[in-house]
Structures are given as structure tokens and as C-alpha cells.
Structure 1
């Protein structure tokens, strides 16, 4: 890793190893909010292609796609993306074209990524693709696989997938056990590639970015500019401090975050938030986020289960809420949620709205106003209302989410900035220009830190803010003239 260490030094970074975390990325100088800490192109990546949706292998676009005429698996939006990928796809194409039609259907994005991993290694070994300190297979070999922590069922699945990859590649001296181990590395180290609005586009392996450890209160954020992974500071990171990002949704209780991290990434988080597990503040926060509220609407207290389990006691006013009452409401919410999901999946959006509004009504009876469970229902309602172009109602719901977002996310979190952006777009569309300016300004204040200012997305946001200001100025001058 000496070459990597030397390559990181000019970037103001250094590698270190800790007994409880393994390899870590440390700041060798001060970093400030909005500053790019590190960026990396993927070693390999694939779009999230499915039977219903396809994307370009080069830029992940959905427009003007044409399928590769030889392998009938890969799509491109044009010749530039095809040329960009040709050295690697030329080999992949030959292999995929040999497969029969049924076998080709088994080539999922994850299988494709593994095939591309070994083909890229082959091309680098043959000097067809250049090797650098930040772009080589040794970095993949150094990633942690957690194979000893995986259950037998998962190991069997990896073995089956490895056999399929071996069948496709047909390379001499290939180690099926190594392929299986690399699948485990994908599960723990690959990143979901998102667009500027954090919508999933594909999956990529970024071996240097993967060195950055998780924190539930991170000092940096990972975003993507096309396929380029970019890590920016969202706090002042002093020299010799560890750089951290979040691997999971941080708007959750400590128990939920710990469970997700253990199941998906096979480690127990010991960050400053998780170290509060079991303390009164953490119990209170968990109850507000995912638990139940006092039955007195005038009380903002949270509930904890009594020791005899007969009910839940408000920790503020002492009122007891019957366990059966809560169980009945929770059961009704579950039944309605199942129906709503089916309706939205089948395109019956009007019926889905009715169901989600009924869910919202029931959740308000048992959930704290800052509950993330209630917030998720509002998010689903907002999504459907936007699809139906019910702009006024969508704005009302979007405004409900803002106070919850402000509470559950840190000040410089991209999701908070994007929610302000959504609010601003709806306000501007409905002629509420002054409110739109306020929302766009708040969005810019956050997203310029997390996204920078030079991407097409940010340029569009800044342009919208300027246009809204011009429109407001014109309206003001028109009123003054009249």
C-alpha cells in the first residue's frame, strides 16, 4: 500500500490502521465544509438494468438507447459511450454472445460486475488498460470480505454465483473460491451510484473510497457526478482526524441503525451516536423516531412499555396507554399499508392516495409528530401526488416533511437540501415566488456544500433561484408602478 499512501499524500490524506476498524482514511491537513476530500472513478460498475428498465453502460442515461447487436445484454446511448467502454466490453461481449438465451437471462447486474472485474484485471495485467496507484486489482484484494461472518445459506448463494461467473469467463487457473469471496466484498464495499437527486442508477466498486469508515454522525458525504464518486467535507475536519461517511440511512433509532449495519456490513458501529445506546437521551430519541406518543394531544411526551407489559406510560405526564389499543391501530396500519403498496404498484394511484391518507390519520393517533414512520407516509403521498400533478396538495405535504427533515438530519445533509429544492419548485410553479426564493436559498446553502457548484444539477438550481429573484423583483416593480 506504499504506492497508494504516496498517491494520497498530495491530496492531504493518509492511510492508517486501527485495531477495532481496520484501514482508515485520515486527514493530513484541515478540510472545510464543501471541500472535495477525494474522488475516484469506479474500478468496475454496472447500471441497474432490469426487464422493465435499461440504462446506458457508459453514462447510465435512459435516453436514445440501442442494444449491443452482438451480446443483446448491454445498452448504449451513442457511439461516445460505446467507445469509452469498448476495450472492456469487447471481451465481455464475446463471452455473453456465446451464452444461450436462457443462460443470458441469469446474467444479473451483480454477475456482470464480477465478470467485468476479472476482465479488467486481465486487461491491466496485459497493459491494455493502464494501472495506477488508485486503480489496480491489488486494492480490490485488500478489501475486507467478512467471509467468516457469513451464514451457510449466503455462502451457498455466492458459490452458485461464482460457478456461473466461471462458466462465462472460462479463464485458466481461475479460483472459484476467490470469486465467491469477491461477491462478499461487493456486498460489504460496493456503492450505489445515484444521480444528483439521490435516485439509484447503478452499482460501482470504488476500492479507495471503500477505505473510508462509517459513522452515524459523519463529517463527510459521498455523492456522484456521473460515475465519479466524490467525497466532500460537511464539517470542519481537523488534521489527523478520521474521514467518515454514512453507509446507511441515519434517520433511524440506534437499534435500527445497528441492526442494518450488522446485517448488511457485518460490523457493530461504535460511533458517538451509537455509544449512547441505552442512555436516557437515546431511549427518548428512539421512542420519538419509531415509537408511540402520549394519548393526550396536548402532551409532547413519549411512551415506554410498563414492566408488567400491560400498557405504555408517558414519560412526561404519566398517562398510561393501553397495549391492546396500540396493537389494534398498528394492525390496521399494516393492513392498509399492504393494500396501498399493491395499489401504487399496479398503477391505481387515486386509490393509493386514499389509503395512504387513512394510514396518515391512524399514524397521527399513535406516532410522535416527528416520527420517521409518519414522515415515510408523507414521502409516499408526495411521490404519488407529484405523479398525478396534484401540485397544491403535493406542496402541502412537502411542507409537512420539512420540520421532520430538519430534526432528523444534520444541517448539511443532501436529503434536507433536496427537500427544500422540491418545496421551492412547487412554490414557484404555484406562483408563490417569495416562498420559492426562501426554499431555493436554503437548498443552495446546503447543496453547495454537499454537491459543489459546478455540476449541471447545481447550475440548474442556481439558475432557478436567480430566475425566481428576477420574477419577484418584476412583480414588486409592477406593483409600485401601479
Structure 2
């Protein structure tokens, strides 16, 4: 752990955690600290492209000889992961195609096994033990209780034959709640989901909608970098959520997932809300009630689309996006965050369908408003420039492609560090075009 930070006393605001404060000055782009994962799982969708142990992206991975599902860089990676993988390996071989626990269930199973194998303090727990994670059991509603119970049932179903003496339901309820409230999603340079992990010391950081650090990943290590100047004594703030949305929306998400009401400077000032909720320039401005009704509609459509991704065809999903954009566009400007959300979903569908022109059209509408709505050096902005750059190059628009990739690199060097392999890959892409 970097000597430039220290743990502080527990804050009084409910659910805010303990927090971290800097004990020396950090410049923008400087590494504040790094933390290895206490436990992690690679998402099933990425198994043929990434090493199960180090998350390296390679084309020459080899399969586990038993389950034929896990992939590794080399024998060293396979040996390093075996203590954890053998749990899934045996279960997958036993259940075959019926083995389908959720990522959260898989992660909790690995945590239980790790606690049995290595009961001593982990290098990722220099400041905070995983057992000290907030669980907020007293704040969970019936829906979250049901989700927890379903996860516990799945853990028993898929792992009871392979983990002796699984903890009791009360202990599992607390562990699942701790993981759901403190877990991290590991993503690549385009913010595609790679896996899930717990990083105890990183979980110490409190939230702000105007953060001064950003968390990125180098394999299974979380790196925390300053995105603006941090002075000695300043608290180190991360963001727990997507910061695209207006204040009330962010507050709802934080209260629902993390059980606290945010009182950061951005939530107090609401300085970006007007731009984020921009309406169309009409001869007669829309009434507040109509705007409120459209926001309600947008939230319903967003949730419907999230569910529809599991059972509708790409063409049907694109139709949902287009119809909602048409309806919202009667009141909202193209820069409105709810319009941008559905444009982003439409872009994703177009990419899946290999409709490169369609994806590019949506991406070009998104990238500039993203640069306004998100904080400086946002990975969301970097990933959008990266996607646009690769789309431009694929469509033989070399000049625009290089320009977009360079903008992505400028952000990524600050967020990931200049020596990160993702930065090196994009620089190679730029060099190949010259």
C-alpha cells in the first residue's frame, strides 16, 4: 500500500464507510495506491479471450485439461489459479451444461474457499478486513432479501457437494450483502465487463459525484489514480456509480444500492443538472409536469430495455431504442442524458449486429455531450472515443480515426497510467496507421 494514504476514523454519515485521507500531495495522473484482489472471477463470456488467473488478453491461451472451460496463459498461471479453480472445475465436470451459477454466487464461493485456505490477513487487507465490510442488513427491503435468498439457494445447489461445512444462512446473508455493497466490476479499455472482484482497501474510499481519483485495473490489481490535485489531509473520493445522470437520479441509485444519501458538492450545487436535462428549443417551453412525466417514461423504458436484452432479438431491441428516442425527442434535446442513454444502448445493438454505420451515427451524437456531462478524465468518455476511433478506421476514415484514438489515449494515460498495456495497444493502433 502506498505510504501516501491512511485510514481515518469512521464517518458519522450512515453507510459512508471509513474513508481514506492523503498524507502527502498527489498530482493528477499519479498513482495513489494499488490493491490486489482478495478474490475474483472472470466472467464466463470472456473465458476464451482472457486468462482465468491474470486476466491477460491473449490469442494463444490453453484450456484446463479437466473442465475444458478455463483458459490460461501458461502452466504458471494455471498452477497459481488451481487452488480457486479446482472448486469450479469439479463442479462444472459434475453438472456439465447444468452448471450456471451467477457471477456473484461464484465470487462468494471463492471467498468462502479462500477464507478456509488462507485464514491469515491478505495483502489486499492492509487497512480493512473483508469481514469488516458494511452489510447494511437492517436497511434491506423485501426485494433484496429475496435476491439474497435466491443467491444462497444457488450457492447450496451448485457448491454444497464441493464445499464442506458451508456457513449458515445468516452468515451467508451477511456475506452476500457485503459483496453486493462492496464488490467491483473489472472492465477493459472499452468498459466491457471482464469479471467481478473484492478489493478491501479500495472499498474503504467514500463516494463523491465529483471524485478526485479513478479506479482502473491492471489484470486483477486495482489501481487508484488522482484525476486532480490532492493535498495532504484531503479525503480521497471515488465514484460508486455512473455519473451521467442528474442529481436526484444519482441520489436514488446511491440510496438503493449503498444505503446513503449523497451530500457531496455536486449534489449540493446541482451545477450540471440543467445541461443534463436540456430540453428542445421550442416556441413554447414544455411545462414542468410534462418534463417530469417524460423522465418517468424514460426510467421505465430504461428498465424495460434492461430486461428485454435477455429475451428479445437485436432488431427488436433496436426498435425499442428508436421508438423511445422518437418519443423523448419531442421534449428532450439530443444532449439530454436520457436520450444519450438510449443512444448508447442503440449503439451497442448496432455493434452487435455489425451495423458499423449505425453505430458510428449514434457514437458521434454521444461523444461531445459525454465530455460535458462526465468529470474530467472519465473512462466513459475515453471508451467512447476509442470505439469511435476503431469504427472510423474500420470504415476507412483514417484521419477521423487517428484523431479519436489520440483523444482516447490522452484520457487513458491519466486514468490508467502511461505504462498500462491498454495504452500501449491503442498507441500501436495509431502507429500502424502512419
Interval containing the TM-score (normalised by the shorter chain): 0.7 to 0.9
1:82 equivalent among 78, 81, 99: 78
Secondary structure of 1:38's aligned partner: strand
Q: Which residue of 2 aligns with 1:253?
A: 246
**Stretches of structure 2 lacking an aligned partner (at least 5 in a row):** none
Point out the more displaced range, 175-184 or 251-260: 175-184
The alignment status of 1:194 with 2:181, answered yes or no, reads no
Q: What's 1:304 paired with?
A: 288
1:230 counterpart SS class: strand
Q: Secondary structure at the match of 1:229?
A: strand
Give, in angstroms, the shift of residue 232 of structure 1: 1.1
Greater CA drift, 446-455 or 186-195: 446-455
Aligned ranges for residues 93-132 of structure 1 at < 5 Å? 96=91, 105=99, 107-125=101-119, 131-132=121-122
Q: Deviations over 1:338-390 (max 9, x none)?
A: 699869965453x6556644543333221123111211232233233334444
* Cα shift readout 1:233-290 (whole Å, capped 9, x = no counterpart): 111111111111111110001111111111111111111111236xxx57635633xx
Q: Could you tell me how far 1:211 is from its partner in structure 2?
A: 0.4
Alignment correspondent of 1:394: 359
Q: Structure 2 CA distance, aligned partners of 1:393 and 1:415?
A: 20
Equivalent runs, 1:237-276 vs 2, <5 Å: 237-276=230-269
8 Å contact kept, 2:214–2:415: yes
Q: Which residue of 2 aligns with 1:209?
A: 202
The CA distance in 2 between the partners of 1:377 and 1:285, in whole Å, is 17
For 2:212 and 2:127, the matched residues in 1 are separated by 29
TM-superposition CA deviations, 1:412-465 (whole Å, max 9, x none): 111112212222233334444333333222222111101112223211211233
Q: 1:253, 1:285 within 8 Å by CA — same for their partners in 2?
A: no
* Structure 1 unmatched runs, 5+: 1-7, 306-310, 313-322, 471-482
Q: Is the 8 A contact 2:43 2:194 kept in 1?
A: yes
Separation in structure 2 between the aligned mates of residue 29 and residue 141 of structure 1, nearest angstrom: 29
Query: Which has the higher relative contact order, 1 or 2, with Cα contacts under 8 A spaced 6 or more apart?
Result: 2
Instruction: Name the counterpart of 2:35.
Output: 40
In structure 2, the CA distance between the partners of 1:108 and 1:382, relative to structure 1 (3 Å rule), is closer
Aligned residue-pair number = 425
Query: Which piece of structure 1 moves more, 408-417 or 174-183?
Result: 174-183
SS of the counterpart of 2:216? Answer: strand
Aligned-residue Cα RMSD (Å) equals 3.9
**Equivalent residues in 2 for 1:63-82 (5 A)?**
66=63, 69=66, 72=67, 75-77=70-72, 79-82=75-78
Q: Distance in 2 between matches of 1:416 and 1:161?
A: 34
Residues 340, 352 of structure 1: 8 Å contact kept: no
* 1:275-313 alpha-carbon deviations (Å, 9 max, x no partner): 236xxx57635633xxx54533xx8x67523xxxxx67x
The one of 408, 420, 427 equivalent to 2:392 is 427
Normalising to structure 1: TM-score of the pair? 0.75
Select 1:284's aligned residue among 268, 274, 285. 274
1:234 to 227, 234, 245: 227
Conserved 8 A contact 2:243-2:374: yes
Q: 1:137 and 1:236 mapped to 2: Cα distance?
A: 23
Counterpart for residue 410 of structure 2: 445
Q: Does the CA contact (< 8 Å) of 1:344 and 1:352 recur in 2?
A: no
- Per the alignment, residue 30 of structure 1 pairs with 25
Q: After superposing the two structures, state which structure 1 stretch, 444-453 or 45-54, moved more.
A: 45-54
SS in 2 for 1:23: coil
Superposed displacement of residue 395, structure 1: 2.9
How many Å separate the matches in 1 of 2:26 and 2:126?
A: 27
Structure 1 range deviating more: 10-19 or 78-87: 78-87
1:223 aligns with 2:216: yes
Counterparts of 2:50 and 2:432, CA distance in 1: 32
Q: In the alignment, what sits opposite 1:15?
A: 7
**Cα distance in 2 between the residues matched to 1:230 and 1:445:** 18
- What is aligned with 2:148? 158
Residues 369-388 of structure 1 aligned to structure 2 (within 5 Å): 369-388=334-353
Equivalent position SS for 2:224: strand
Structure 1 contact 41–227 (Cα < 8 Å) conserved: yes
Instruction: State the Cα deviation string for residues 72-98 of structure 1 (Å, max 9, x = none).
Output: 59623464432111233446656x479
The answer to whether the Cα contact below 8 Å between 2:276 and 2:337 also exists between their aligned partners in 1 is: no
Deviation at 1:58, TM superposition (A): 2.0
Deviation digits for residues 453-479 of structure 1, max 9, x if unmatched?
2223211211233344x3xxxxxxxxx
Paired with 1:184 and 1:332, the residues of 2 have a C-alpha distance of: 29
Question: 1:44 Cα shift?
Answer: 0.9
* Contact 1:195–1:225 (8 Å) recurs in 2: no
- Return the TM-score normalized by structure 2: 0.83
In the alignment, is the contact (CA less than 8 A) between 2:135 and 2:174 conserved in 1?
yes
Q: CA deviation at 1:51?
A: 13
* Counterpart position of 1:475: none
How far apart, CA to CA, are the structure 1 residues paired with 2:32 and 2:330? 45
